[in-house]
Amino acid sequence: MEELAGRLTALDPDAGAAVRVIAYFDRLVEGRAGLEALVRGAAVLSGCPARLVDHGRGVRVRVEADGRRRDAAGPEDSEWPSAALTPGGVPALWLERTGPRSVVDAMVLERAASAARLVLDRTRGRARAHIAAEDPALLETLLDPTAPQAARLHAARGLGLDPSGRARALALPDGHPRVQPFPASDGPGRPLGGRSGGLSGDGRDEGTAGGQVLGPGVPPGSRVGVGPAVPVPDLHESWAAARTALRFTAYGTDPGPRTVHADELGTLALLAEAVGPGTRPPADVRALDSAGAATPWLLATLNAVVSAPSLRTAATELNLHHSTLQDRLSHAEALLGWSVRDPHGRLRLQLALIVRRLMTHQAAFPPAH
């Protein structure tokens, strides 16, 4: 069908061609042309297939050099010249061509990507960094382990997720799942957030850091359980893990982390299974509750002690003189009935604090069924 390509095809790489490329895309923008027209322009002017892929916004447009739309094609080739929609972003527009890159190709990519960004912002809103509960039925299907895989993949596409990509689920106290595409530039092994002290860090710092990491859709300071990044078809597993992680977050004014990453829980996740609606609080938890009720500083002090690498650091974080902290700990040990300064006692304290959190959570949010 070469003759179909007519006279627009594969402009000569001279200055006149560059001017024509600019004029061509300027007119498309002026006429409020759609994405397909922009991708077709890229294909026709460069004389090879062009494609635009924006997983976040569920956009996939591929047009061949004869102007025909043919979306079905293999994956993108890293050898192809490409352009991002935003400076420093991931590639979104490709010319399906290998070999030497021409000046015209670069100009076509730049003008087409810039025009596509305008159209996307106008017609689909700014890029979504997460998928909120605005598509509840699709989200429910996507996260339902009993739904057939085909239905989950269909839901993923409907939500603008790349079915072959990775994503993670977030659990918030409102019960509505959030799903975030996992940035393509990040490898699967990348630790999320990169914090240490996952379960015991200071609540406020943790919340702030989490807010930045977790992006829009998560109210600042909200408790969040973060599921691991998984292949999109396995998102129900991330969702289950996120809900478990949420139970490890600190509720209300309790000291402790507001954001918990499921993949940092390790063996502690088993504790969540051990604590259910009918579980009687263990003696150590009852001791913490009564000591905490009698002594306002107690829980925050003990949480700082188990979170910090040393007592000196804990004292600094609490704005206490080192000897004052020692005095407080002696008082706490008397109330609790065990030492919190030897390794075994620290572990016992840490477990009691965590189980207490799981039980508070249980009391505050009894299971619906």
Which residue's CB is nearer to other proteins, number 23 or number 293? 23
Closest approach of other proteins to the CB of residue 218, in Å? 39
3-state secondary structure the chain: CHHHHCCCCCCCCCHHHHHHHHHHHHHHHHCCCCHHHHHHHHHHHHCCCEEEEEHHHCEEEEECCCCCECCCCCCCCCCCCEEECCCCCCEEEEECCCCCCCHHHHHHHHHHHHHHHHHHHHHHCCCCCCECCCCHHHHHHHCCCCCCHHHHHHHHHHCCCCCCCEEEEEECCCCCCEEEECCCCCCCCCCCCCCCCCCCCCHHHHHHHHHHHHCCCCCCCCCEEECCCEEHHHHHHHHHHHHHHHHCCCCCCCCCCCEEEHHHCHHHHHHHHHCCCCCCCCHHHHHHHHHHHHCCCHHHHHHHHHHCCCHHHHHHHHCCCHHHHHHHHHHHHHHHCCCCCCHHHHHHHHHHHHHHHHHHHHHHCCCCC
Which residue's CB is nearer to other proteins, number 112 or number 192? 112
Closest approach of other proteins to the CB of residue 98, in Å? 23
Which residue's CB is nearer to other proteins, number 34 or number 197? 34
Closest approach of other proteins to the CB of residue 4, in Å? 5
Site for other proteins, rule CB under 8 A: 3-8, 20, 23-28, 30-33, 36-37, 40-41, 43-44, 65-68
Which residue's CB is nearer to other proteins, number 30 or number 273? 30
Closest approach of other proteins to the CB of residue 37, in Å? 5
Which residue's CB is nearer to other proteins, number 31 or number 366? 31
Closest approach of other proteins to the CB of residue 107, in Å? 13
Which residue's CB is nearer to other proteins, number 115 or number 250? 115
Closest approach of other proteins to the CB of residue 3, in Å? 5
